[in-house]
Amino acid sequence: MIIVDTGPLVALGNNRDNFHSASVHLLSRYPGRLLVPSPVLAETCWMLESRVGTDAELKFLDLVRTGCSNSWS
């Protein structure tokens, strides 16, 4: 299990982010569970909505809900 901070999660949802490819590569291939603390969840939602849009925030929340980290590309 790894604890994930806001940066990789925002990069995951923002294909214009400099670390988007690296975040997709790491988070989609990591075989274990990802732990996202509640403040990180809230901050990621806020940043995705403000920088990318509501659809990106909703897609992220759906991934959190389903527990699927390998569906974002």
Give the CA angle between residues 2, 63, 38 to the nearest 5°: 55
Q: What is the pLDDT of residues 3-51, one digit of tens each?
A: 999 999 999 999 999 999 999 999 888 888 889 999 999 999 999 999 9
Tell the burial category of 30 from Cβ atoms under 10 Å away from its Cβ (0-12, 13-18, 19+): middle
The secondary structure of residue 70, as a DSSP letter, is S
Q: Dihedral, CA atoms, 22, 59, 57, 35, nearest 10 degrees? A: -60
> Model confidence at 72, in pLDDT bands (50, 70, 90)?
low
